[in-house]
Amino acid sequence: MFHAMAIWVLKDGQREGPYEEQDVRELVYEGTYGDSDAAIRDGQFDWTTLGEVLGRARGDEDVPDGPVAGEIVQEAPIEPVTPEELPARVPVPAPAVERELPPVAAPPERVAVVDLQVPFGSMVMFLVKLVLASIPALLILCALAALFWGSFIALVLILHHH
């Protein structure tokens, strides 16, 4: 039997279900499942906790969703499901991987440069390289200036001619 919005629960490495939501709520109330058990609802692509699938907020574990005390509940029989009957799109969650957290970085320190000791020859070479590197930028700026002034002069001549 396949349900429209079926819920599967992963318990002890085995997929169990599909269950209807009310059935799962009763199983949680009975203690068969807990809000922290892995679960997935039909139409979802990632496993999450049963509490999230049922829309239960943290701290709701003590509030039963099941029957009221003294109420007679007729339990529906649960039909066993073979793994072949499970939809192919329900993945089994990968085992949790332990990973180290990165170390906490020390807060940045302020640094003030008071003096810079550079040999004269190195400073001259740096300035020559700086001038040579600025030549392409200067050529681009000259081309842009020529384009701007040429357009401006052409506009003035056209307006003065009329």
Give the N- to C-terminal CA distance of the chain in Å, as an integer: 88
Q: What is the pLDDT of residues 133-151, one digit of tens each?
A: 999 999 999 999 999 999 9
Q: How much is the pLDDT for 63?
A: 47
Angle at 51 between CA 68 and CA 34, to 5 degrees: 70
Handedness of CA 67, 37, 32, 45 (dihedral sign): positive
Quote the CA–CA distance of 51 and 73 in Å, as a whole number.
Answer: 22
Q: What pTM does this model have?
A: 0.35
Q: What is the pLDDT of residues 6-26, one digit of tens each?
A: 888 888 878 888 899 999 899
Quote the CA–CA distance of 121 and 91 in Å, as a whole number.
Answer: 67
pLDDT at 103 over 50: yes
Three-state secondary-structure class, residue 70: coil
Q: What is the pLDDT of residues 38-62, one digit of tens each?
A: 888 887 777 888 888 888 755 444 4
